[in-house]
Amino acid sequence: MRNVTREELKVMMDRGDPFILLDTRNRDAFRTEHIPGAVSVPSDQVGKHVLPGLKKDDTIVTYCSSFSCEASKVAAEKLERYGFKKVLQFKGGLKDWKDAGYATER
């Protein structure tokens, strides 16, 4: 697993790079606010039955609330155990994203 900064994630989004952005917080937090284009998959639900449409070579970026949140790390580690090869963790999460003034969705 490699870490990605908010700037790197923003560039990936702006370029239209193909990747899946997983919000690993609980679904209520996701419904309240999330990074544009994110899909809600809480870290405790990451598993083979939750990720059926993903390919092992898809680029997947995980994030959660902030630097102190461990959900994105837990999810990224699970993804790697399931054989996903291109897993990135955005450790700063939603707080870091918003601190940069980047847009969110509700």
Does 33 reside within a domain?
Answer: yes
Note down the domain range covering 88. Answer: 2-99
Does 89 reside within a domain?
Answer: yes
pLDDT digits (tens, 9 = 90+) for 35-54: 999 999 999 988 866 676 78
Does 104 reside within a domain?
Answer: no
Q: Quote the tokens at residue 41.
A: 């998959």
User: What is the CATH number for 82?
Assistant: 3.40.250.10
Q: How many domains does the chain have?
A: 1
- pLDDT the model gives residue 57: 92
**pTM exceeding 0.75:** yes
Does 90 reside within a domain?
Answer: yes
Q: Where are the beta strands (DSSP E) in the chain?
A: 2-3, 20-23, 39-40, 59-63, 86-90
pLDDT digits (tens, 9 = 90+) for 67-89: 999 999 999 999 999 899 999 99
The C-alpha atoms of residue 56 and residue 34 are separated, in whole angstroms, by 25
Q: Quote the tokens at residue 15.
A: 């370029």
Does 105 reside within a domain?
Answer: no
The C-alpha atoms of residue 58 and residue 20 are separated, in whole angstroms, by 8
